[in-house]
Chain A
Amino acid sequence: MQLTLEQGASLGVGDVPPDHADGSYLLAVAGGGSGGSRPWRWGTARAGGWARILDEAQHVPDLFSYIQGIVDERDQPGQFVLAGSPNFLIHRQISQSLAGRCDILHLLPFSRAELKRRKLHPVEAITDRRPRSRENGEDRLNDVLFAGGHPRIHDKKLEPQRWLANCYQTYIERDVRELVNVGDVEAFGRLMGLCAGRTGQLLNLSALANDCGITHTTARRWLSVLETSFVVMLLRPHHRNFNKRLVKSPKLYCLDTGRCATCCASGRLKTWTCTRHAGRSASRGWWPRR
């Protein structure tokens, strides 16, 4: 039995890869702190019939044991498609009933290829030596960087910087509050800002903790929250040393360039949570728009 989501109307991805064909349900996790704002363009999910689609399922953890019951009773793949935030995976009650019964598809903010409805495989992009088809698009790199990949910005043609400031505010207030002590929410926002300013640099946890005014342990814990939500990622150093001494720390990357640009442009990295209005100055442009 195979779960197929109709082309183009799918998880914003184009298709469900074959690896995801045999879970009892497919869990689609929207990352990058996009909150509930991703416009789900679900098509007809077919699983030898139809699937039930539940969005924002993480808000009803009790639901999962019911679903587990249904799934265990009728062992048929693709009965449910559950969508929601990555907190899914942190929540113990949820992850227990999910174990062994689901496939997980992480949805990051849009990639450019996805926006252009193209499929790209990074390895093929390097190894495929056939003459290239014309490279598509008239978009400009600076604009692409500024906009980032959040669906709503592209869907509704919103002004990226202002919207992003609100989006992350919501992310912090709604998704993070459950995981972090309420009193620390401001410091958490500060950490996000600091990460944006350090994108592409080697991770120095002590310096990051110092600048943020939190302990080393807290910084580590919060960073893992940011990583789970796909706000940042850590790129690891490769271990093959070829007789050289290698750097061992990972590199920190912010996954959405729109947010980096917002933070850097605001010039107020330390007060990320209060930069709602800073988006306006950013929108005037800090790179010459050609």
Chain B
Amino acid sequence: MHAARGAICESWVVAETVKNFMNRGLRPDVCFFWRDSAGHEIDLLIEAGGGRLLPVEIKSGQTFSSDFVKNLNWWRDLAGPAGGKGAVVDGGDKSMPDKDDRLLSWRGWG
């Protein structure tokens, strides 16, 4: 696998998000990322109504790992009431049964 594949996958997910907002006539300015100086990161953070923040973790791999939701859980603990349930979007072909967060295949996102 090419080294850039992860970054390109991530770009695809972000771009699809922006396009889907725009195609519904909505401004994509509700999309953010979140990163602290220690390197903790949420790839995509979507501001939903009522000040809720929905975190999205983007993974280019095809095999779901429970580590993927660890990061989201860590962030939700930090964010408290502002942190909503989010999603993991991965490069696999099938979505998994949801846990707290939705576990979506890229097919379910774009």
A residues with CB within 8 A of B: 13-14, 16-20, 105-106, 108-114, 119-123, 125-127, 129, 132, 135-137, 141-142, 144-145, 149, 197, 199-202, 233, 235-238, 240-242, 244-247, 251, 253-257, 260-261, 264-265, 286-288
A199–B35 CA distance with the chains assembled, in angstroms: 16
Hey, which chain B residues are within 8 Å of A111, CB to CB?
15-16, 19-20, 23, 110
Q: A238-B32, A264-B4 are in contact. Are A122 and B21 (CB under 8 A)?
A: yes
Q: A246-B34, A287-B5 are in contact. Are A200 and B25 (CB under 8 A)?
A: no
Q: Which of A119, A233, A247, A260 contacts B18 (CB 8 A)?
A: A233
A105–B45 CA distance with the chains assembled, in angstroms: 24
CB distance B11 to A129 under 8 Å? no
CB distance B98 to A129 under 8 Å? yes
A264–B20 CA distance with the chains assembled, in angstroms: 26
A112–B105 CA distance with the chains assembled, in angstroms: 13
Q: Which residue of B lies closest to A200 (CB)?
A: B7
CB distance A127 to B48 under 8 Å? yes
A260–B8 CA distance with the chains assembled, in angstroms: 7
A245–B110 CA distance with the chains assembled, in angstroms: 33
Hey, what's the 0/1 contact readout for B18-61 against A, CB within 8 Å counting as 1?
Answer: 11111111100001111111101000111110000110100000
Q: Which of B14, B15, B109 contacts A125 (CB 8 A)?
A: B109
Q: A111-B19, A123-B48, A242-B79 are in contact. Are A257 and B102 (CB under 8 A)?
A: no
CB distance A16 to B110 under 8 Å? no
Q: Which residue of B lies closest to A197 (CB)?
A: B4
Q: Besides A14-B23, A119-B23, A199-B7, 7 other CB < 8 A contacts?
A: A111-B110, A121-B21, A125-B87, A235-B33, A245-B36, A253-B14, A253-B15
A145–B91 CA distance with the chains assembled, in angstroms: 11
> Which 10 pairs from chain A and chain B are nearest by CB?
A17-B25, A112-B110, A111-B19, A238-B32, A244-B36, A200-B7, A135-B107, A245-B37, A247-B35, A264-B4
CB distance B33 to A135 under 8 Å? no
